[in-house]
């Protein structure tokens, strides 16, 4: 079997045997689930970290932000390394870094070491795209498409798995025990990868553009910093706007570096392909909306009754609200490969965006009962699951097999930035709706945020429909 040509030379691929494939697929799923769940551990533990380490909530928030940042920076670098012949070594080394970081979060060390450990854990987020590359190289084409779709879904619903478990452990045995969960599962992932991960096909080569990586890291640092520091926008708007301009300039410089490099970190020319560019735009705007609703529902569920709304749920019980999100997200991921035989991927993106918009509408109209929050979360999960499962098909349809990891890694960087901005936008809207002297925003602020989310999903739907029209015109000239 021959893969896509690289540099004019046919690349020999090595599909694994049937028995090995049965072991490989669960391995890919398990690793994608673990890195997503471990990276999400920061979300339910922020309050516990602030209390245990005697730091402010803003400082504790960095246990989540630093993982997102390191993941966003590591993803394109690992994607490029994954395109070469040392992919197996890259996967094992990355998992070793994640295990070491997990150990730092468990050991009785100062807060700075916890942040370092969380940064190391976040590096694992870059492995999702590599798992897709392995599936595309070593599984039959029809089988690999379904597996890649599920990997994409699992990388999102992993947050719903990690959230309630970590919250329960934190309540029962403290924050160190909750982070201990991360150490156990990442060690298991490393052992599983060592036993089951195949070598990359022969003839591959990959070089990391160091200059491009440094500039991209600086730009992403600014973007995620601005997304996480909500007080900066409300109290020092001029400074925030100036930093935003610097971030845009750095991204432009990075694009120029990539275009001039013979070994770019990300093939910007390929990213400019209308199908890829449209998919990344849909991922960016859709990611803003999806994460906005996720944060709105979880925050609303934990708001005490004294605010005049909310349910005053504990962290663990609030985490259970994510169960419909995970379950229906997985169901959508399983259904999508079957539906793809009849409906094009861009139309599936559009339909999924409409479903997420329906979740926003449900939350905006009905949230006085806890069952309604469960319903909205389930609708969100189904829409996110379908969207995530369809996205790789849009990008990989115009991507050489050898560039799978690199192309999908850029999409995941876009997703990470979109998620961060979605969280920040939600925080800003709720902050604007909080009256002087009040701890909690007015109930109407949640409605306003939901309407903004509906607008984001409308843009995502229109972008996806434009992709569908373009594909239809190409296949039916």
Average pLDDT, the chain: 84
Q: Are 183 and 121 in contact (CB under 8 A)?
A: no
Q: Are 382 and 362 in contact (CB under 8 A)?
A: no
Length of the chain: 477
* Domain contains 9: no
| CA angle, residues 26, 388, 363, in degrees to nearest 5 | 120
pLDDT of 17:
52
Q: Specify the higher pLDDT residue, 472 or 346.
A: 346
Distance CA 268, CA 362 (A): 39
**CA proximity to 16, closest of 148, 138, 133:** 138
* Domain contains 5: no
Distance CA 68, CA 423 (A): 12
Domain that holds residue 255: 209-262
Mark whether 185 and 36 lie in a shared domain: yes
Give pLDDT tens digits for 98-135: 999 999 999 999 999 999 999 999 999 889 888 988 88
Give pLDDT tens digits for 140-197: 877 888 888 888 888 877 767 777 888 888 888 888 988 998 999 999 999 999 998 9
Mark whether 149 and 194 lie in a shared domain: yes
pLDDT of 10:
41
70 backbone φψ class: left, alpha, beta (φ>0; ψ -120 to 50): alpha
pTM for the structure as a whole: 0.80
Mark whether 90 and 234 lie in a shared domain: no
**pLDDT class of 474 with cuts at 50, 70, 90:** low
End position of a domain, from candidates 222, 237, 262: 262
Report CA dihedral (115, 120, 123, 127) to the nearest 10 degrees: -140
pLDDT of 13:
46
pLDDT of 95:
96
CA 404, chain centre distance (Å): 17
Distance CA 370, CA 385 (A): 22
Which two tokens mark 54? 């005697």
Which two tokens mark 153? 């879904």
Which two tokens mark 471? 């594909």
pLDDT(430) > 60? yes
Mark whether 161 and 277 lie in a shared domain: no
Q: What is the mean predicted confidence (pLDDT) over 307-332?
A: 87
Mark whether 173 and 313 lie in a shared domain: no
Distance CA 29, CA 132 (A): 10
Burial class (CB in 10 A: 0-12, 13-18, 19+), 349: buried
Mark whether 134 and 165 lie in a shared domain: yes
Q: Specify the higher pLDDT residue, 139 or 364.
A: 364
Mark whether 123 and 147 lie in a shared domain: yes
Mark whether 271 and 303 lie in a shared domain: yes
Give pLDDT tens digits for 370-429: 999 999 999 999 999 999 999 988 888 878 877 777 778 888 888 888 887 887 788 888
End-to-end CA, the chain: 32
Total domains in the fold of the chain: 3
Mark whether 104 and 227 lie in a shared domain: no
Distances from the Cα of 106 to the Cαs of 35, 143, 167, 231, in angstroms? Answer: 17, 39, 15, 30
* Domain contains 341: yes
């Amino acid at each position: 079997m021959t893969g896509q040509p690289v540099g004019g030379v046919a690349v020999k691929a090595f599909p694994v045997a049937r028995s090995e494939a049965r072991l490989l697929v669960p391995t890919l799923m398990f690793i994608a689930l673990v890195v997503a769940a471990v990276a999400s551990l920061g979300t339910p533990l922020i309050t516990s970290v602030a209390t245990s380490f005697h730091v402010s909530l803003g400082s504790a928030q960095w246990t989540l932000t630093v993982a997102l940042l390191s993941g966003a920076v590591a993803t394109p670098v690992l994607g490029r390394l994954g395109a070469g012949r040392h992919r197996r070594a890259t996967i094992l080394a990355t998992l070793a870094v994640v295990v070491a970081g997990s150990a730092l979060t468990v050991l009785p060390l100062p807060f700075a070491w916890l942040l370092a450990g969380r940064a190391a854990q976040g590096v694992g987020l870059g492995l999702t795209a590599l798992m897709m590359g392995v599936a595309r190289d070593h599984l039959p084409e029809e089988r690999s498409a379904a597996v890649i779709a599920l990997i994409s879904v699992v990388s999102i619903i992993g947050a719903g798995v990690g959230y309630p478990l970590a919250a329960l452990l934190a309540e029962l045995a403290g924050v160190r025990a909750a982070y201990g969960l991360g150490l156990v599962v990442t060690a298991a992932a490393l052992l599983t990868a060592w036993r089951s991960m195949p070598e990359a096909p022969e003839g591959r080569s990959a070089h990391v553009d160091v200059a491009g990586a440094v500039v991209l890291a600086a730009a992403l640092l600014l973007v995620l910093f601005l997304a996480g520091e909500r007080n900066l926008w409300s109290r020092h708007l001029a400074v925030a706007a100036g930093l935003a301009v610097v971030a845009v300039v750095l991204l432009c410089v990075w694009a120029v570096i990539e275009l001039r490099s013979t070994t770019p970190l990300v093939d910007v020319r390929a990213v400019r392909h209308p199908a890829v560019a449209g998919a990344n735009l849909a991922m960016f705007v859709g990611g803003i909306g999806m994460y906005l609703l996720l944060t709105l529902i979880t925050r609303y569920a934990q708001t005490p009754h004294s605010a005049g709304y909310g349910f005053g749920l504990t962290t663990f019980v609030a985490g259970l609200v994510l169960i419909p999100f995970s379950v229906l997200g997985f169901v959508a991921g399983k259904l999508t490969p079957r539906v793809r035989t009849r409906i094009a991927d861009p139309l599936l993106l559009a339909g999924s965006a409409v479903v997420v918009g329906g979740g926003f509408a449900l939350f905006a109209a009905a949230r006085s009962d806890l069952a309604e929050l469960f319903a909205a979360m389930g609708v969100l999960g189904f829409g996110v699951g379908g969207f995530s499962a369809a996205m790789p098909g849009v990008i990989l349809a115009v991507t050489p097999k050898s560039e799978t990891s690199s192309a999908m890694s850029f999409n995941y960087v876009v997703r990470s930035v979109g998620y961060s901005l979605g969280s920040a936008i939600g925080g800003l809207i709720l902050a604007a709706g909080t009256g002087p002297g009040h701890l909690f925003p007015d109930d109407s602020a949640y409605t306003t945020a939901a309407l903004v989310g509906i607008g984001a999903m409308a843009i995502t739907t229109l972008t996806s429909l434009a992709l569908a029209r373009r594909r239809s015109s190409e296949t039916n000239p």
